[in-house]
Amino acid sequence: MNSNAQLLLRIRLCVAVFIVGLVVSGVTAIPLETELNWLTALPGLSGGAQPGTNVLAQWLETTRAALHDTNTRYPFIAYGGDWLAFGHIIIALAFVWAWREPVHHRWLFDFGLIACALVIPWALIFGALRGIPWWWRLIDCSFGVFGALPLWLARREAASLAKGGEP
């Protein structure tokens, strides 16, 4: 396999990882209540945790109860999560162009990197405004960090491919 073919393969692998991450993040935004029911049923994360002993279990149980109450009383609010999922899927779909023609659509890597960078202040600012614990906001920030890694690698390799495969 020549160096251009290897570069293209590495780019496509990075873009595929990013696309799969977006799709999984989007699809899992739809059945949130079911997912939280499963998660809070796991040993150590059940709602029976003693106050002050397991902050994660307490947070998940509070979130599960709030989501259940909201879905029971105001099911239309979940429609916002459905649209969040849709947005993830559409953004993933846009990256198919970068997968197919990474040199021609290099701008998508810059767009994705900017979006990943903006995840951090977005999570920190709006998480604070909404009363999200700081440690959960860091988890949210990690989506931007981990999303940026394959995009940065793909961008670097696409630039190399544009130069004719030179390092």
Full-prediction pTM beyond 0.85?
A: yes
Q: What is the DSSP letter of 47?
A: T
Averaged pLDDT, 73-95? 97
Question: Whose CA is closest to 37, among 11, 8, 10, 63?
Answer: 63
pLDDT band, residue 164 (cuts 50/70/90): confident
**Sign of the torsion angle spanned by Cα atoms 155, 160, 163, 167:** positive
Integer Cα distance of 129 and 106 in angstroms: 35
> What confidence tens digit (pLDDT) does each residue in 135-148 have?
999 999 999 999 99
> What confidence tens digit (pLDDT) does each residue in 103-123 have?
999 999 999 999 999 999 999
Q: How far is CA 79 from CA 49, 151, 153, in A?
A: 31, 30, 35
pLDDT band, residue 47 (cuts 50/70/90): low
Q: What is the DSSP letter of 45?
A: S
Tokens of 132: 């999200």
Q: pLDDT at position 166, please?
A: 57
pLDDT band, residue 49 (cuts 50/70/90): low
Which of helix, strand or coil describes residue 62? helix
